Structure 1
Amino acid sequence: MACRVADSMFLFMAPHQKPSGSHKILAHCSPGICYLKGERVIQKGIRHQQFLLPKRKSRVIQAVAIPVVPSPADTAEYRKQLAESYGFEQIGEPLPDNIKIKDIINTLPKKVFEIDDVKAWKSVLISVTSYALGLLMISKAPWYLLPLAWAWTGTAATGFFVIGHDCAHKAFSSNKLVEDIVGTLAFLPLIYPYEPWRFKHDQHHAKTNMLSEDTAWHPVWKEEFESSPILRKAIIIGYGPLRPWMSIAHWLMWHFNLNKFRPSELKRVKISLACVFAFIAIGWPLIIYKTGIMGWVKFWLMPWLGYHFWMSVFTMVHHTAPHIPFRYSNEWNAAQAQLNGTIHCDYPRWVEILCHDISVHIPHHISPRIPSYNLRAAHKSLQENWGKYLNEATWNWRLMKTILTECHVYDQEQNYVPFDKLAPEESQPITFLRKALPDYA
């Protein structure tokens, strides 16, 4: 267990004596005890240590034993307390530095990587049928039942995204052309350009929870937060009460700006953008022609907002918690980010079915080539072989409250600092959420 020696005042040395510059004094710890040793140690002790300082006249100097309380983050009891506080079922142990992604992949059954065309097209059938049923519910439901119809239809639309998601990871079909066509078509009702999203999403997988480089989510920079009052207010609202729809801002900022892509990517990006704009130019006028402006709101806009709710919630729950760090590239460890830095969260079964198990997310980050219909089998294998390192939860209000009120501004030591700690007078939306959101786990 690591131990810090903050001050060397407890070394009692003879007047004018200093350690030789070529001989280090090292800290060494055993459970509950911290003591010192020199590089030239003659005899080891348990409660105290003797070491020699090589000078013209060698003198023995004795270090005093100092009891040290073990780091609470390294204890199962402390992790259990954190889990309860944050709304988790389990917070995993830190993954050792010597574990590599390939070590984890090698423990997975080979069958979880196999593409099954029947299961792949079954997922398409589930999404098309459930989405059509949702549109029928919207057309028939009285006004007071419309929110339920929109919730169902928006969740079903999220299934389209997951199908395109599998296509982008080459986990839908062995035929690349089929994957590109299905992925593009699946994304069209969502007004999502397939290729721009694919390029940026690949970067998210390559650099998960890496500061700046991760293209999904990352904490707010303190400099950004303090740059201007107007921007600060917008950030507080966006990362607070509006965070379940912040993927809309992400969608606009990342997928329509040609300057964000390499020259080699631009041709495919432009084709995807053309498909999206064609859908808007043809599909929206048809909806308005048949049902009017309010019909466009009822049949497209509200389900689309429901889709973005799940898009935002899934994404932030997958990688955001007070104990999960974002790291600079020189400190980043791939296995730790993908296994320790990804969260498994169970949702109501109907959500899991309509969204094709996208929330079974840890195996997907271990290997994106695992098809969505094999994620549960892969997760079971991870539980058997790496279970003590996994972060797991069942969706609950305390989990959401933790993310929305705590996980805000990046801090190297604490991971996050809440907005209301940095700017309490401007953080009324956060204090409101602290009071208004239930605390049920």
Structure 2
Amino acid sequence: MGSTLTLSSTKVSSPPLPRCESMSKAPKCSEAYSEDVLPEFTPMPWSIAEVRAAIPERLFVRQTSKGLAYLARDAILAIIVWKLGLRIDPLFRSFKATAGFWAPSLEFLRWLTWGVYWWFQGLIFTGLWVIGHECGHGAFSENKLLCDVIGYIIHTWLWTPYFSWRISHHRHHRNHASMEKDEVYVPKTRSELGIPEEGKHAIDYEEYFGDTPIYTLYMLLRQQLLAFPAYLLWNVSGQKNYPKWTNHFDPSSVLFTKEQRNLVLASNAGILAMIWGVRYLCMKWGSAEVFKLYGIPWFMVTHWFIMITYLHHTDPKLPHYRNGEWSFSRGAAATVDRDFLGWMGRFFLHDVAHYHVIHHFFPKMPFYHGPEATEYLKAYIGEQYHFSDKPAFKALWDNYNDCQFVEDKGDILFYRNKKGQASYRPSSSYGKSNQESATPQ
């Protein structure tokens, strides 16, 4: 397969989801739901070496000059937008003093202008974070020292402990979609949520998931703004086999080896320097000014980063594996590319969401080769490649509702929604031992 390759812009999609894909679209789908008619899934058979052989070697070449050009572009954009941000309040104060604007409307326009600043500066900052992420993988340049210096500066400036996070993130890539070894977005199981197994008596899932839309919105906002700091500090959403209080700042944490101790300390030193620096700027310029110009754009980075990574790894069509069913190539394929924010996602975020699947297969491949390499990947693995053009915020809402838990049994697992229903099932060729045990009524 793939011996003769013809590039095509045709979108390769996954098998169509059943009628119960979205809770919001099919409130009565439980009446017609049957696990026996769900689309079957067969794990990909190819090794990572076979997939790599289908990608031209030139697409793995890292060009330092090109990486530096993207870094310079982002830095210049951030400075320009920051300079414009410095003019917002003085500009509206001058309007207030010289023009006959109605005060409330002027104040509304002022905050609207700040909103535009936060939106675009947040995107630019996120693009810089993506450059730091490239450095962490060694995809920015073949010069490892240059990668670490640039990555350390950028990530520290954006409150990410560079070396500590790089270590755990590499482990995530090596073990993605493994229930036992993955680092982040490990699905909760039925037993962890206290839901009994399906049996003779029907389960009232409303009792477990009967949240109001307002409460769901609150939980989503909490996730978007606090999930990354919570993961770094308390391992929230991380591997459940780790001890309590596992975090990215303790050099003796189970996350790190003794040889990595100094790298963790260096990351901590950078964060301490940021604390001092922000405190100094607050004393010099005022806390409100620092919060408006830097603090809120940083919160936007946290929001975009969590939203992108959550949607990369969480979807009803994506499998998780236990035991011998997992392999690196299967884990890499258990991600999804998304049309994230259209042209803004492509320009400001360096296509990080549009071409994430290829990144999981080959983390050292530079992001600017992602579009072409993805065409080769799609042509080779076919329906094993996942793509979604669902609007990003709708996908966030739907997946938060539809990806609740997986079963305690089985080696190939799919998320179940708030009614205990899955969208896919393992192929019957894998036998009952590899299938999820429940069949919600």
Instruction: Provide the TM-score with structure 2 as the length reference.
Output: 0.69
Aligned partners of 1:94 and 1:389 also within 8 Å: no
Q: Is the 8 A contact 1:287 1:295 kept in 2?
A: no
Rg bigger for which structure? Answer: 1
Equivalent residues of 2:13, 2:385 under 8 A apart: no
Structure with higher RCO (Cα < 8 A, 6+ apart): 2
- Give the letter aligned to residue 344 of structure 1: D
Which structure 1 segments of 5+ residues have no match? 1-75, 423-441
Query: Alpha carbons of 1:206 and 1:77: their partners in 2 closer, same or farther (altered >3 Å)?
Result: closer
Shift of 1:148: 2.0
Alignment equivalent of 1:407, drawn from 395, 398, 403: 403
1:236: Cα distance to partner? 7.2
Instruction: Look up the equivalent residue of 2:83 and give its one-letter code.
Output: L
Distance 1:190 1:93 in 2: 43
Q: How many residues align?
A: 337
Q: In the alignment, is residue 138 of structure 1 matched against residue 55 of structure 2?
A: no
380-389 or 104-113: which moved more?
Answer: 380-389
Aligned partners of 1:388 and 1:290: how far apart in 2? 57
- Written as runs of structure 1 = structure 2, the 5 A alignment for 1:40-439 is 79-82=15-18, 85=21, 94=41, 96-141=43-88, 142-226=110-194, 240-245=220-225, 246-253=227-234, 254-258=247-251, 259=253, 260-281=255-276, 283-339=277-333, 341-347=334-340, 348-359=342-353, 360-396=355-391, 397-411=393-407, 412=409, 415-418=414-417
| Cα RMSD, aligned residues only | 3.1
State the TM-score, normalizing by the size of structure 1: 0.69
Bigger share in strand: 1
- For the residue of structure 1 that corresponds to 2:415, the secondary structure is strand
- Mapped partners of 1:369, 1:147: distance in 2: 35
1:93–1:388: 8 Å Cα contact kept in structure 2? Answer: no
Residues 371-408 of structure 1 show CA distances to partners (whole Å, capped at 9, x for unaligned) of: 11111111121123223321101251442222111112
Conservation of the 8 A alpha-carbon contact between 1:154 and 1:306? yes
Contact 2:168 2:183 in 1 (8 A): yes
Question: Is the alpha carbon distance of 1:82 and 1:392 closer, same or farther for their aligned partners in structure 2, counting shifts above 3 Å?
Answer: farther
Q: Distance in 1 between matches of 2:40 and 2:361?
A: 17
Counterpart-to-counterpart distance in 2, 1:384 and 1:84: 29
Aligned mates of 2:308, 2:288 — CA distance in 1? 29
Provide the C-alpha distance between the structure 2 equivalents of 1:116 and 1:320, rounded to a whole number of angstroms.
Answer: 32
In structure 2, the CA distance between the partners of 1:93 and 1:145, relative to structure 1 (3 Å rule), is farther
Identity %: 23
Separation in 2, partners of 1:237, 1:267? 41
Matched-pair contact (CA < 8 Å) for 1:236–1:419: no
State the alpha-carbon separation in 2 of the partners of residues 363 and 83 from structure 1: 29
Tell me if structure 1 keeps the 8 A contact 2:13–2:383: no
Unaligned runs of 5+ in 2: 1-11, 25-38, 89-109, 196-206, 235-246, 422-441
| 8 Å contact from structure 1 (residues 209, 337) kept in 2 | yes
In structure 2, relative to structure 1, the CA distance for the partners of 1:93 and 1:151 (3 Å cut) is farther
State the distance in 2 between where 1:78 and 1:181 align. 40
Indicate if the aligned counterparts of 1:240 and 1:405 stay in contact, CA closer than 8 A.
no
- CA displacement at 1:280 relative to structure 2: 1.7
Q: Which amino acid aligns with 1:79?
A: P
Provide the secondary structure at the position in 2 that maps to 1:79.
Answer: coil
Give the C-alpha shift of residue 367 in structure 1: 0.8
